[in-house]
Amino acid sequence: MWPPQETVESVLGELGVVPETTIVLYDEQYSLDAALVFWTLKYYGNKDVKILNGDWSQWLVDGHAVSKDSPVFQRTVYRATVKPEVLATADYILENLNSSRIVVLDARTPAEFYGIDVRAKRGGHIPGSVNVE
């Protein structure tokens, strides 16, 4: 699921990023791609990652400035620190299914949640999870 650590370090270093750099992400697909990059950066230890509230289309609708210029960055050495604790493994979820401290949110469509639209081996959802599309 994650790109190799060396790839992340190389790309972020070329962009002048260090783990303390604030990174704001956006895309034009309701932040789905931005969300994947968000979790990748959090997994590799970036301390301050944000997703723009709205996407590129909303930025344009709101009349904010745009540019076709590419910024120039001073290369850095990005040293990733893997943070496996940002992930919930299947074992972790199974161990905590009945915990009042844990809420499992299923962000798929209601049809996927209820097993009507089956896109995996089995349809449905994790017992006790809540659907928030």
What pLDDT is attached to residue 2?
81
Q: CA-to-CA distance for 33 and 10, rounded, in angstroms?
A: 20
How confident is the model over 84-126, as pLDDT tens digits? 998 999 999 999 999 999 999 999 999 999 999 999 999 999 9
Domain range enclosing 42: 5-85
| 15 and 41 co-located in one domain | yes
pLDDT band (50, 70, 90) for residue 31: low
When divided into structural domains, the chain yields a total of 2
Secondary structure (H, E, C), 37-57: HHHHHHHCCCCEEEECCCCHH
Over residues 2-12, the mean pLDDT reads 95
Q: Is residue 80 domain-shared with residue 63, that is, in the same domain?
A: yes
Q: What is the pLDDT of residue 32?
A: 79
- pLDDT of 56-71, one tens digit each? 888 999 999 999 999 9
Report DSSP state, residue 120: S
Q: Which residues contact 9 (CB under 8 A, 6 or more apart)?
A: 44, 77, 78, 79, 80
**Same-domain status, 99 and 65:** no
74 close to 35: Cβ distance less than 8 angstroms: no
Contact 128, 104 (CB under 8 A): yes
> In terms of pLDDT, which residue wins out, 32 or 111?
111
Express as a percent the part of the chain with pLDDT over 70: 98
CATH of the domain at 13: 3.40.250.10
